Structure 1
Amino acid sequence: MIYDLIVVGGGPAGLAAAYEAYINGVNNILIIERDKELGGILNQCIHNGFGLHTFKEELTGPEYADRFIKLVKDTNIEVKLDTMVLEIEEDKKIHAINTEDGYMILESKSIILAMGCRERTRGAIGIPGDRLSGIFTAGAAQRYINIEGYMPGKEVVILGSGDIGLIMARRMTLEGAKVKAVVELMPYSNGLNRNIVQCLEDYDIPLYLSHTVIDIIGDNRVEKVIISKVDENKKPVKGSEIEFMCDILLLSVGLIPENELSKKVGVNLDNRTNGLIVTESMETNIDGIFACGNVVHVHDLVDFVTEEARHTGKAVAKYLNNNLEKKAYINIKNANGINYTVPQKISIDDIEDKLTIFMRVNNVYKDKILKITSGEKIVQILKKKHLTPSEMERVILKKDLLKDLKDDIVISLEEVN
């Protein structure tokens, strides 16, 4: 059998994309998930704060996932769990394996890549010190506590102030551990402001900005972590060392889109995001292979992942009905103050009524103008009171503003006149 659509990944992006494709008329859909259950990372995120945009109510991660799992189960969408995708071919054949079916070569008319992202490890950032037990990524510790039922440590230092690290500072505290410090290399936090307040300030957990770990000491297990202030070049400042006795170091030092399969098949990557280059329809450079969620770029909120995934599901339905024009592409480029933009190129004819552009700035800014131009034309100007790299920005442009554009779109930050 040749499937109309195979979705690689059964997390929030894959579930929402598959369901949206289904309700837009796509038949013979298969979701492949390497874990033993659907839901992805949401299953271990037992804190609330999910769903405010999508469902207009506050849900935990498992509750949010369950909403989409139930929607998918009420359809004829096929699901293969505990199944590992080994390779994707350019002609949209997928090589996969599991204990029930063995080795499979599955054919499809279209593919959605929704593999999510992975955490950076100690090896990726090169922290000096002894090689000891007691060093975990924040996500691994979260799984140990929330799913496996193990407490990984009692006296905690956390390196990195990403959202997972902030949430784990609170989670470890609630489980009786003492979180002695959250240490951040940058002069600003990399987590959402609400998590700074709810996870650190509410529990009197100190946040050390412009600091990093310079040594890890112990015999078999972590016993002490030494941190130091850093200068403007991110180099440790001598004499500023602080020692913390602890038995666990958690790392919350960034997420990387999971794109080994994508690279192997020849999908183009964006070196700004480490994710995929996509069009306004979330299609990659390979015809019929689409992508959405954290495999494209790391999102702040699962609600934004869902929004993007729904858009992708609709686009696949149009593709299968030969309703994507895919012509006269215009690039979207980032200029002053902008770190990246997604999508990276657009076909104006394929935009239904509006274009949503996701972006991040490269520093903390206040009272700026977000300027969108194309050649000599000013497409839109937006005033922004506060911008930070930790919070993704969305710009929504109506199709009427874009229909006559011929030059690349450039997005930049400017001073308020």
Structure 2
Amino acid sequence: MEKIYDLIIIGGGPGGIGSAVEAKVLGLEKVLMIEKTDNHSHTIRKFYKDMKRVDKDWQGQAVDMEGNVEFTDGTKESTLDFFDSLLDDEKIDTRFNCAVEKVEKKDGVFHVVSGCGVDRAKNVIVAIGRMGKPNKPSYKIPPSLRSQINFNLDKCSNGEHILVVGGGDSAVEYACELSATNEVTLNYRREDLTRPNPTNQEMIAEYCDNEAVRLKLGVDIEGLESEHGQVKVNFTDGSELFDRVIYAIGGTTPKDFLKSCGITLDETGEPVFDDNYESEVPGLYIAGDIVFNSGGSIAIALNHGYRIVNHILSKEN
């Protein structure tokens, strides 16, 4: 007979990895994790700067680890190494470079359709991230400027006049990191930076005091233009020229994909789920970044996996 997995996990980030580890530890035998890129933790690899601090506690709020994954504070590199060890030690069945197209439930069994074929499972966890599709500004970015517009730190050069747009942890960290070799302005539409965690708030205050980063707060951007090879940024209080603009304004829920998996979305486009992270389709769960309306936490995503697997096992008993 064709193999039916106890659980298929879509997404190889913290939520997916945590779910896979907990499934194996707690007794689900046939588990498969599918990731569309060539390795796990794509968001961390692409959007975290090298040696970025990775905290267990989310935005300064203590997070108690509930399951079998002993996650602690570290860096981007140590976190990736830790996830490597989990996948290797637990001998999780993983499939990389495999993009899932849709999920259908037929006769009580989920059919996960991907570029690698069709796999069947009793339960499915969708653990994809938001940052795979970063938020973009509402105004149009002129095609001539696309090589000078970033949503991460890729292709940034030294000696540039850079504008970082955003008010969260990533924006602050980008601005401080780039200020070592560039002239950096950090723009946020609100008057105060309240979203970054306490450590990052202290860091940006210090960088501003030392005039390493210039703050432009309480000012919105109306649009961009190309002027003599530079980016002309039209603020509500006037225009300035920059060599590069980096947007660090979060990511969007991949609505079309969630719909293709049969997950109901609310009026704001967010997935509908209950206290067990189960969607309106029994046996279909969500975990990780897409659970959050804003921001994300590796530790909380790992806890999602523990709670979901326990709920799956409770229904079987």
Alpha-carbon distance, 1:151 to partner:
3.3
Give the TM-score of the pair, scaled to structure 1: 0.64
1:412 paired residue number: none
In 2, distance between residues paired with 1:299 and 1:128?
Answer: 25
Once the two structures are superposed, what CA deviation does each residue of 1:308-349 show, in whole Å capped at 9, x if it has no partner? 232223223333x2x4xxxxxxxxxxxxxxxxxxxxxxxxxx
In 1, distance between residues paired with 2:104 and 2:159?
Answer: 44
* 1:21 and 2:39 aligned: no
Asked whether the 8 Å contact 1:213–1:226 carries over to 2, the reply is yes
Aligned positions, number: 292
Larger Rg: 1
**Correspondence for 1:253 among 238, 246, 249:** 249
Asked whether the 8 Å contact 1:167–1:195 carries over to 2, the reply is no
Provide the alpha-carbon RMSD of the alignment: 2.5
**Correspondence for 2:113 among 80, 85, 95:** 95
1:83 paired residue number: 98
Residue identity (%): 18
Q: Give the strand-richer structure, 1 or 2.
A: 1
What amino acid does structure 2 have at the position aligned with 1:292?
Answer: A
What amino acid does structure 2 have at the position aligned with 1:301?
Answer: S
2:146 paired residue number: 133
Change (3 A) 1:247 1:173: same
Once the two structures are superposed, what CA deviation does each residue of 1:180-209 show, in whole Å capped at 9, x if it has no partner? x22222344363242642552222223333
2:182 paired residue number: 177
What amino acid does structure 1 have at the position aligned with 2:5?
Answer: Y
Helix, strand or coil for the counterpart of 1:192?
coil
Change (3 A) 1:260 1:245: same
Once the two structures are superposed, what CA deviation does each residue of 1:111-155 show, in whole Å capped at 9, x if it has no partner? 000011031123xx12576752344343xx33x26xxxx638821
In 1, distance between residues paired with 2:21 and 2:14?
Answer: 11
Change (3 A) 1:316 1:135: farther
1:30 paired residue number: 32
Q: Which runs of 5+ in 2 are unaligned?
A: 58-62
In 2, distance between residues paired with 1:34 and 1:152?
Answer: 33
1:279 paired residue number: 274
Asked whether the 8 Å contact 1:12–1:40 carries over to 2, the reply is no
**Correspondence for 1:216 among 209, 224, 232:** 224
Alpha-carbon distance, 1:50 to partner:
2.4
In 1, distance between residues paired with 2:245 and 2:97?
Answer: 31
In 2, distance between residues paired with 1:128 and 1:80?
Answer: 36
In 2, distance between residues paired with 1:68 and 1:84?
Answer: 21
What amino acid does structure 2 have at the position aligned with 1:93?
Answer: H
| Larger RCO (alpha carbons 8 Å, 6+ apart) | 2
In 2, distance between residues paired with 1:215 and 1:291?
Answer: 36
Helix, strand or coil for the counterpart of 2:100?
strand
What amino acid does structure 1 have at the position aligned with 2:112?
Answer: I
Once the two structures are superposed, what CA deviation does each residue of 1:261-286 show, in whole Å capped at 9, x if it has no partner? 221233111334x3311111111001
Once the two structures are superposed, what CA deviation does each residue of 1:279-314 show, in whole Å capped at 9, x if it has no partner? 111110011101111122244432222222322232
1:154 paired residue number: 160
Equivalences for 1:322-341 in 2 at 5 Å? 323=317
In 2, distance between residues paired with 1:306 and 1:284?
Answer: 18
Alpha-carbon distance, 1:75 to partner:
2.1
2:120 paired residue number: 107
What amino acid does structure 2 have at the position aligned with 1:62?
Answer: E
**Correspondence for 2:259 among 263, 280, 287:** 263
Alpha-carbon distance, 1:19 to partner:
0.8
2:289 paired residue number: 294
In 1, distance between residues paired with 2:12 and 2:95?
Answer: 9
Alpha-carbon distance, 1:95 to partner:
1.1
Give the TM-score of the pair, scaled to structure 2: 0.82
